[in-house]
């Protein structure tokens, strides 16, 4: 067979939301920019309030602080480039910059998955073992769980980025997404990606399904314990402490699973819109649902502003 004359790719462009007209992209730009600024501001508020208030120096709020830092870094890795692409659809990104974006996206995204699992374990320990909670969730345990989450995120990101960018890229250079993600990049490779896609699927199962199973087991035990509480007020309070975590878990894992656990397919506009949920909306949902609706945090914020706490 004659050898094809292929040109090596040195940079990519994003298809993103270029299917929309200029006016619609401008509207999306404003909406995403507002959500991005709200995410940065709300996470900054959460970190400041927790740092200043000693009453919030507990395992639950320690994990919230770590999650806020991780979510902030996660959004910084994705959203600024997405906003730029909305205004300049043909703006290119070099392969090293694309690899860097993918690395931080995976590292912080996977870290978030395992932090949510650690928070599920924290709720399990608080409700199912209240008398031993301070022992089970000591400072050392919290640091080990947080460090473990970071380590898993970083090591998985290194493996995945090395795997993807060991592929040759020829001719096609338009990524069917608004950021550098694994599947859209593999679709541009001019080599067989079957083995690498299988490895990616296995890793996705480990970082999505395994945490979901652990959280599910935690909540089965939590619910069975709550139902044994004799007072209705006690049951209501216990459920309230878990509702925020469960809401974020369902949104985060649900949307990510739709994208990463489905059979091989082209990255459609529908997939990109689903991706917006866990790259733009969920990082804002976390501080709002977890903390800004939390009475302890609101009281601490009011005290920091010199106002009377809520009664």
Dist CA 27 CA 89 (whole Å):
15
**Alpha carbon distances (Å) from 250 to 64, 110, 166, 247, 286:** 17, 16, 34, 5, 12
Residues facing 94 on adjacent strands: 11
Provide long-range contacts, Cβ within 8 A and 24+ apart, for 235-242.
238/127, 241/123, 241/126, 241/127, 242/123, 242/127
Query: Which alpha helices (DSSP H) does 168-231 contain, by range?
Result: 182-186, 194-204, 210-226
Q: Are 210 and 218 in contact (CB under 8 A)?
A: no
Cβ-proximal residues to 151 (8 Å cutoff; 6+ apart), any chain? none
pLDDT tens digits, 240-292 = 777 777 777 887 777 777 777 776 655 667 778 888 888 888 888 878 876 66
Give pLDDT, residue 4.
53
Q: How far is CA 135 from CA 104, 138, 241, in A?
A: 34, 5, 20
Residues 6+ apart with CB under 8 A from 46: 64, 65, 68, 287, 291, 292, 297
pLDDT of residue 97: 94
At residue 1, the pLDDT reads: 42
Nearest to 119 by CA among 27, 40, 50, 222: 222
Q: What count of residues does the chain have?
A: 311
pTM: 0.88
Question: Over the chain (311 residues), what is each successive 10-residue block's mean pLDDT?
Answer: 60 86 91 94 89 86 91 94 87 91 95 92 89 90 95 95 90 86 89 88 88 89 85 76 77 76 67 83 81 70 68 51
What's residue 34's pLDDT?
Answer: 95
- Residue 191 has which token pair? 């080599």
For the chain, the maximum distance between any two Cα atoms, rounded to a whole number of angstroms, is 80
Q: Are 142 and 126 in contact (CB under 8 A)?
A: no
pLDDT at 265: 56
3-state SS, residue 169: strand
């Amino acid at each position: 067979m004659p050898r094809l004359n292929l040109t090596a790719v040195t940079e990519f462009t994003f298809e993103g939301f270029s299917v929309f007209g200029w006016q619609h992209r401008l509207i999306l730009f404003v909406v995403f920019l507002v959500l991005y600024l709200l995410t940065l501001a709300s996470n900054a508020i959460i970190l400041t309030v927790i740092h200043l208030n000693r009453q919030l120096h507990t395992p639950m709020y320690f994990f919230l602080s770590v999650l806020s830092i991780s979510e902030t870094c996660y959004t910084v890795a994705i959203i600024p480039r997405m906003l730029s692409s909305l205004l300049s659809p043909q703006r290119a990104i070099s392969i090293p910059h694309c690899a860097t974006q993918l690395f931080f996206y995976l590292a912080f995204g996977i870290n978030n998955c395992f932090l949510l699992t650690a928070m599920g374990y924290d709720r399990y320990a608080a409700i199912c073992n209240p008398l031993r909670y301070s022992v089970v969730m000591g400072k050392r345990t919290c640091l080990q769980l947080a460090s473990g989450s970071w380590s898993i995120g970083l090591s998985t990101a290194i493996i995945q980025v090395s795997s993807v960018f060991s592929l040759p890229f020829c001719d096609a250079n338009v990524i069917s997404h608004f950021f550098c993600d694994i599947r859209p990049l593999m679709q541009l490779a001019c080599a067989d990606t079957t083995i690498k896609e299988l490895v990616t699927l296995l890793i996705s199962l480990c970082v999505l399904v395994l945490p979901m199973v652990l959280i599910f087991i935690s909540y089965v035990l939590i619910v069975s314990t709550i139902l044994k509480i004799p007072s209705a007020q006690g049951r209501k309070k216990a459920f309230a402490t878990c509702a925020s975590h469960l809401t974020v878990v369902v949104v985060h894992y649900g949307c990510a699973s739709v994208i990463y656990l489905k059979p091989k397919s082209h990255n459609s506009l529908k997939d990109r819109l689903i991706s917006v949920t866990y790259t733009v909306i969920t990082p804002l949902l976390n501080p709002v649902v977890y903390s800004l609706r939390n009475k302890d945090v609101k009281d601490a914020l009011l005290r920091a502003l010199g106002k009377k706490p809520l009664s």
